[in-house]
Structure 1
Amino acid sequence: MPDNLIIVRKASGLDPDTLHTLSTALGTAPERMGGERPTLLRWQAAPQSSATFDAWAEEYGVDAANVPASLSLADFRLLAIDMDSTLVTMETLDEIADVAGLKAEVAAITEAAMRGEIRDFTESLTRRMALLQGVGEDLIERVYRERLHLSPGAEVLLAAARAAGLKTLLVSGGFTHFTDRLKEQLGFDYAFANQFDIVDGRLTGRVLGPIVDGAFKAQAVRQCCAEIGCAPSQAIAIGDGANDLGMMGVAGLSVGYHAKPVVRAQATWSVRVGGLDTVVDWLG
């Protein structure tokens, strides 16, 4: 019997036609049923390709992963997660730019960087920050109060990680104006992000200190693992853009969350449709 499980999740429930189609494709029936429209099912079957799971997400609205039968959340010691478009539903710099009337210009650079078209994250961040020179600190506060929302399932994921004994790391190419508050609000053990340079209540268009790029994120995972006393292979890293590939590459398990194609191609798993709590179900 294969030691690989295909775990399929759909929050609104899997209908009988979808169950039949997936079972036919996998050549076996699911391991267990959960009522007329179960939200989570497991098949003991050979691993499937990322392209197959992409197609299932598109056609059936499901998230699927190849999961070793014995794997659980408690096998890990650290959960590292990106902020923008991962822990929260937005790109914070884009929202600041929107409030300032500059969203189109800033968002275009953000998208190019997330797709990996601008290889140097430092360049993309420097270009975006220069466009925001002169923006008032009050607008940053307004974005935090009015626009910042957690991604679905974020609190479930963090609670499950803590219950399983994992430490939690928020590591972001965004800014401490947001990560510091999220760390306090959600109880992260560690948080790293960039720092705005603000003079007389306005952005100077520069960043203070070292920029949190892909290499920094990878080193943050290594550093936290060293403090905890575990190997990076015992870390889970979750992100959505090219800047997350560094930490995803050093972690034992990487998860792309509504990620760009360049990230989905390299991630161990990808959440394509559902919330962050999908990861909990896969590791349950």
Structure 2
Amino acid sequence: MAAIVAERAYAFFDVDNTLIDAVSMFSFQAYWYRKTGERDAQAAFDGEIAALRRQGAPREFINRRYYAHFAGREVVRVERCAEEWFGHLERSRPDLYHDAVIAELRGHQAAGREAVLVSGSFPALLARLASRLGVRHLLATSMEVEDGRYTGRIFDPQTIGAGKATAIGRFLERMQAPAGACYAYGDHSSDLPMLQAVGHPNVVRGDPALEAYAQTAGWRILAAR
């Protein structure tokens, strides 16, 4: 294996409720159903997700079930709708961006550290956000496609929970960069593996359990705005 380049470092950012004040996957899904008028499909989706949440299902399982509802959708149609969705989100939410966290990202870029978005969302939902922020790298959910349509299955690593740490580890190995020199930002306990995977973890306020862990570990805690 090639030697690790000690000077190279990255800053990894969770997206939902870290960089933006929204849950991109579910915001998009509601937008999709409004645009397509698929009322029966929406009822089935909303009912299943609500039941899973009542049962306390793990986020990883809910994430997989979310993508199961993409089965049969045309890729090009979803990508087009994702572009429209993000434009609508920006126009309707003047408070969309968490300014303090965006400032952190800009600070890393100014210092020569590339930012990387790490999310359970899929690349089409993150593309315009990444472009806005000058981010080249996305670690996100990759969906299986057959004949131009999604199958409802996703590829590993699942970029949520422990899968975020796996994705980051593979990325850093590919980039020959040391984890100890890197930074990460997350707002929820499910981001803990990602935060533990780097040398400089940062917690965005919002989850008391994660904040308590951060205080014990001596990690930096910052407000979103």
**Higher alpha-carbon Rg:** 1
1:147 correspondence with 2:98: no
- Distance across 2 between alignment mates of 1:142 and 1:201: 20
**Larger relative helix fraction:** 2
Deviation at 1:177, TM superposition (A): 0.5
**Aligned pair 1:270/2:221, yes or no?**
yes
The corresponding residue for 1:179 is 126
Q: Could you tell me whether the CA contact under 8 Å between 1:240 and 1:258 is conserved in 2?
A: yes
Checking the alignment, whether the CA contact within 8 Å between 2:86 and 2:128 is kept in structure 1 is no
Return closer, same or farther for 1:110/1:156 CA change in 2, 3 Å cut-off. farther
Same amino acid, percent of matched pairs? 22
Give the Å deviation of 1:139: 4.0
1:119 partnered with 2:51: no
Corresponding residue SS for 2:98: coil
1:266 aligned counterpart, secondary structure: helix
For 1:219-258, list aligned pairs within 5 A. Answer: 219-227=166-174, 229-258=176-205
Other structure's SS at 2:121 match = strand
Q: State which drifts further: 161-170 or 129-138.
A: 129-138
Letter in 1 for 2:123: T
- Whether 1:97 aligns to 2:29 is yes
Cα separation, 1, equivalents of 2:182 and 2:54: 28
TM-score w.r.t. structure 1 length? 0.56
CA RMSD of aligned residues (A): 3.4
TM-superposition CA deviations, 1:175-230 (whole Å, max 9, x none) = 110223333332224211113456788765x1442222333311333334445554
CA distance in 2, matches of 1:270, 1:167: 21
Structure with higher RCO (Cα < 8 A, 6+ apart): 2
Q: Provide the TM-score with structure 2 as the length reference.
A: 0.68
Gaps of 5+ in 1: 1-74, 276-284
Structure 2 residue aligned with 1:51: none
More strand by share: 1
* 1:88 and 2:45 matched: no
Match of 1:193 among 140, 158, 161: 140
1:274 offset after TM fit, Å? 3.8
Query: Secondary structure of 2:99's partner?
Result: coil
| Unaligned runs of at least 5 residues, structure 2 | 1-6, 35-41, 91-95
